Structure 1
Amino acid sequence: MTISKSNKQLNISLIVSDLSSKGAGRWGGAIRPFLLAQALQKLGHTVKIFGIAYEENGLSELPQDLPIISIPCPYYAGFGGTWRSLKQLLPKIDGDILYAVKLKPSSYGIALLKKYLSHRPLIVDIDDWEMSWFGGDGWRYNFTVKGFIEDLFKGNAPLQHPDHPFYLQRIEKLVSLADQVTLHTQFIQQRFGGIYVPNGKDTDLFDPQKYDPQKSRQKYNLENYKILMFPGAPRPYKGVEDILIALEKLNNPEFKLVIVGGSPYDNYDKKLEETWGKWLIQLPKSPVDAMPEIVSAAHLVVVPQQDTPATKAQFPLKLTDGMAMAKPILASKVGDIPEILGDTGYLVDPSCPDQLATQIDWIFNHLEEAQAKGKQARKRCIKTYSLQSMATILSQILEPFCF
């Protein structure tokens, strides 16, 4: 599909919450801010990414094909340290349009300040319900004067970091100050309103015709196994343990779950290895352009999300990895997953290892049929979940600013 470029080329400043190795930089260009940037570039707009990188998380290697202005800041900088970083960052943000990614003080808050100073239009993209990580609407700050002062000023005090839920909860109330809201799930749309913009996949890069699955399996020493692949960072809510329990039930030594990248947050990988190492192969984090070859090695891509407020708000990028590469996909009925897959994948109830085991066994006993369904998934991805389809929606959003 050909995308026509806008009548007016805009300079768009994407403001990202954390460009460190645990923030937006952790996947080096595979996540929402960089997908938005690529789609906007397809429309002929100039895109620059701006943000603070929290030093304690480790500074990351970011894509070289985008202008990225990253200002380092100590994680517990407090208001003084954060303001020093902001004083460096704010003058550099030069877009005709401000586009904040994530409803956080460290992105949307910065964008609101820049909007106030420059009177430029502001769009906010909401790709997570940030308060879901802290109990959602039920979270309350236990206020006492002494405790509040200590939380603000004591060494490494929690309120010295701008993404504390105390601030997240309050910035949710400022969504109406944006000129436009974009989002990628029905859950977020129902909560905040706005325009649906799906996560698009580069279906030219993720093209199964460019790779030989058997050669890929040989390259990564996977040729002796039937490969179930989870191409992302494992977390407890992502249901990886449910897959491993299912493999234990099936007890077939040919089955292996391959995890790509590992967790950048904690020692959850080690826990999985200690408990389920018999069924597990872990591949290291890889650059975006290496992922199609890695996914090519999979017989089956698994996305077994558990049913939590956080997962309901998410659009798992692993789905479109598998769809673009025409792989059979086994996922759980959580959030938008059934809508994204349509009838091109296999769905089970969340947190049901027995259903997973049954479906895994069926898929590998009917692999040709499952592969045909995978080919339909790629067609669906190209039509609805590609960078091109993402750009089409963004062009309509930006049209009022292009004249």
Structure 2
Amino acid sequence: MKVSFLVPDLGWPIVGIAARMANYLHPEHEVEIVGPNLWRGANIMYAAEFAYRPVDCPRLYRLPEYFRESRKLTRALTGDVIISMKAFGSNLPAALRAKRERGCRVVAYLDEWDGAVAAEWSWSERLRQWTRDWMHPGNNVYVPWVERRLRECDERLVTTQFLAQKFAGRIFHIGVDTARFQPQDPEAVARLKHQLGLSANTLLVFGGVARPHKGLEVFLEALVRLRRTDCRVVILGPHNEYVQQLQQHSEYGALVCCPATTPEAIQLIHREMPLYLGLGDALLVPLTDTLLARSQMPCKLFEAMAMGKPILANAVSDVPAVLGDGGYLLPPNDVAATAQAIQALLADPAGAAAMGQRARARCVAHYSAATSRQELLNILQALR
């Protein structure tokens, strides 16, 4: 059976999840990852993970050319099963058109509620957004319309209970390669720490892309409250505009370290992610309490658990159910509670180490790549 993964844009980070799922299915199934090439190539972090097939549809983002360009995507999809990664105007309608025209099966994979952005708009904001973006069917204003078509899919794979209830979905966790993500050689970690100029520091490491809804500021404010000027929050995702804002903050800017400042560094860190996560005295899985965050299950949580490191995570969405007793569960946006947890963790290295071991054992038992791979194969078998 052939499986086509359709992404909204090859430049989006979701291609990384598509690549992992595609690799799970190979060699049992023929697989391809297809998508519009609106960002001049595949996302830099995941460009080397799969031979992506770009579709030349540069006017997909604009009406009325959208209809012609979307048909190009439909014609490019040759799979017996199409997995639409997210539900945007730039991918799900093309997949459902293929189903209508040639009877293939369509699966939607939802890693978060993308419609949450529009759901939080006031009426005046909604009007302003429609006035600005009505000609752009791939933008957020059209997401609620596209999501209404999710019922036409043969299966909806989701990452949280929130999404399962909202879209009648089946929970599927992407899992993690626990042979690759595991406790690292202390000497290799020490060398990297020295190379980064961080040998004298206690490190709290965040392995993802820094975004405003993650709430990294709370951890930084907690360090300021504790007067832990020896600590650093190390962000392993790209050095984006938001990271720059954090580094420019008058109180905690000096506590922020982000080594991914060039395309080469971004690719290196992604390639060597387990070693970089090994830098952490603790690993961070931050989330704020927003509609969007309540729908998310951070993939970085599974990677953090596999590393056997103590974890500081916000108790949002299904994070408490997944992490269990493998980490500190913190109320979101609570600087005092976060400061107390950091202080307790750093004051009890033995207890923190035991917590990390429990997290890894839980990850190996329930969230390994092998477990996720078999589950995905079973889902496809049921669609034959």
TM-score, normalised by the number of residues in structure 2:
0.89
Indicate which of 93, 104, 114 corresponds to 2:77: 93
Q: Give the SS at the match of 2:63.
A: helix
Distance 2:185 2:170 in 1: 34
Are residues 124 and 220 of structure 1, via their aligned partners in 2, closer, same or farther at CA, if it must alter by over 3 Å? same
1:51 Cα deviation after fit: 0.7
Maintained 8 Å contact 2:174/2:299? yes
- 1:255 partnered with 2:238: no
1:161 aligns to what SS in structure 2?
coil
Shift of 1:393: 1.8
Q: What is the one-letter code of the residue matched to 2:345?
A: I
Distance 1:46 1:189 in 2: 28
Pair 1:259–1:177, CA change in 2 (3 A): same
Q: What is the aligned partner in structure 1 of residue 7 from structure 2?
A: 16
- Asked whether the equivalents of residues 227 and 297 of structure 1 are also in contact (C-alpha less than 8 Å), the reply is yes
**Which residue pairs with 2:115 in the alignment?**
131
Q: How many Å separate the matches in 2 of 1:233 and 1:380?
A: 25
Q: CA deviation at 1:65?
A: 4.7
Alpha-carbon offset, residue 278 of structure 1: 1.9
Instruction: Tell me if 1:201 matches 2:176.
Output: yes
- Offset of residue 136 of structure 1: 4.5
CA contact (8 A) 1:261 1:286 kept: no
Output one character per residue of 1:94-136: Cα deviation in whole Å (capped at 9) or x when no partner: 1111111102121212211111222101111111111112235
Quote the residue 1:188 is aligned against: 163
**Partner SS for 1:331:** strand
The residue correspondences of 1:231-246 to structure 2 (distance < 5 A) are: 231-246=207-222
**Superposed counterparts of 1:204-215, under 5 Å:** 204-209=179-184, 212-215=188-191
Matches within 5 A, 1:152-231: 158-209=133-184, 212-231=188-207
Judge conservation of contact 2:107–2:157 (CA < 8 Å) in 1.
yes
One-letter amino acid of the counterpart of residue 5, structure 2: L
Question: Are 2:61 and 2:138, in contact at CA under 8 Å, matched by a contact in 1?
Answer: no
After TM superposition, the structure 1 = structure 2 runs for residues 38-117 of structure 1, keeping only pairs within 5 Å, are: 38-41=23-26, 44-55=28-39, 60-61=43-44, 62-74=46-58, 77-117=61-101
Question: Any conservation in 1 of the 2:60–2:69 contact (CA below 8 Å)?
Answer: no
Q: By how many angstroms is 1:84 displaced?
A: 4.7
**Percent same amino acid among aligned pairs?**
28
Aligned CA distance change for structure 1 residues 260 and 239 (closer, same or farther; 3 Å): same
Could you tell me how far apart the structure 2 residues matched to 1:340 and 1:118 are?
39
The 3-state SS of whatever aligns with 2:235 is strand
Higher relative contact order (CA 8 A, sep 6+): 1
Q: Number of aligned residue pairs: give it.
A: 374
Q: Residues 68, 337 of structure 1: CA spacing in aligned structure 2 closer, same or farther, 3 A cutoff?
A: same
Query: Which residue in the other structure is 1:303 paired with?
Result: 285
Task: Give 1:23 deviation, angstroms.
Answer: 4.7
Question: Structure 1's 255 and 210: CA in aligned 2 closer, same or farther, altered over 3 A?
Answer: closer
Q: 1:91: Cα distance to partner?
A: 2.6
Normalised TM-score (structure 1):
0.85
Partner letter of residue 350 of structure 2? E
Instruction: Read off the aligned partner of 1:270 and give its amino acid letter.
Output: Q
Counterparts in 2 of 1:46 and 1:66: CA distance versus 1, 3 Å: farther
Q: SS in structure 2 opposite 1:49?
A: strand
Residue type of the alignment partner of 2:172: V
Shift in alpha-carbon separation, 1:106–1:23, aligned structure 2, 3 A: farther
For structure 2, the residue ranges without an aligned partner over 5 or more in a row are 261-265
Q: Kindly report which structure 2 residues correspond to 1:220-369, keeping only aligned pairs within 5 A, or say none.
A: 220-262=196-238, 264=240, 267-275=241-249, 276-284=252-260, 285-287=266-268, 288-369=270-351
Secondary structure, counterpart of 1:54 in structure 2: coil
Is the contact made by 1:15 and 1:98 (CA closer than 8 Å) also made in structure 2? yes
Superimposed CA distance per residue, residues 200-229 of structure 1 (whole angstroms, 9 cap, x where no aligned partner): 112222122456432332233221110001
Deviations along 1:327-354, one digit per CA (max 9) or x if unpaired, are 1100111111101101111111110011
Question: What letter corresponds to residue 19 of structure 1 in structure 2?
Answer: L
Distance 1:65 1:321, change over 3 A: closer
Aligned-pair Cα RMSD in Å: 2.5
Superposed displacement of residue 47, structure 1 = 1.5
Change (3 A) 1:350 1:12: same
**Partner AA of 2:147 in structure 1:** E
Q: Shift of residue 309 of structure 1?
A: 0.6
SS at match of 1:100: strand
- Residues 189 and 333 from structure 1, CA distance in 2 versus in 1: closer, same or farther, beyond 3 angstroms? same
